[in-house]
């Protein structure tokens, strides 16, 4: 969980330089295979590289962040309530020929 600081993370495939595991925080890099038989036996597959580590930095839109320290990633999203919001999880999907899709899962903490 990213809201607790530099938690477990991984990067799989080419993320166009938008995401990285901070220097010295990567643990292992190894080849992976992404395949699906949903389109039949002649479906395309992708050979990629996955890097596992701790912490994550994202430099793309709409909200960039870095979870390198012990503090959680506190975010302010305009127009969404008052109080503190912390990043719980993040997913970036980069498909060739399409706009990258960034998905954020936030925990809202309302302090009265």
Print pLDDT tens along the chain (112 aa): 445 566 788 898 888 788 888 877 778 999 998 887 777 777 778 888 999 988 888 898 888 888 876 656 666 666 666 667 778 888 998 887 888 899 988 887 765 5
Q: How far is 72 from 1, CA to CA, in rounded Å?
A: 9
Q: How far is 112 from 107, CA to CA, in rounded Å?
A: 16
Q: Is the pTM of this model over 0.75?
A: no
Q: How far is 84 from 76, CA to CA, in rounded Å?
A: 7
């Amino acid at each position: 969980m990213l809201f607790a600081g530099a938690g477990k993370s991984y990067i799989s495939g080419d993320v166009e330089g938008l995401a990285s595991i901070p220097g010295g925080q990567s643990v292992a890099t190894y080849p992976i295979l992404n395949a699906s038989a949903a389109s039949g036996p002649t479906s395309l597959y992708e050979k990629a590289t996955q890097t596992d580590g701790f912490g994550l930095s994202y430099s793309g839109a709409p909200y960039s962040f870095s979870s390198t320290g012990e503090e959680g990633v506190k975010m302010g999203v305009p127009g969404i309530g008052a109080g503190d919001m912390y990043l719980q999880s993040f997913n970036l999907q980069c498909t060739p020929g399409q706009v990258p899709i960034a998905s954020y899962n936030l925990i809202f903490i309302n302090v009265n």
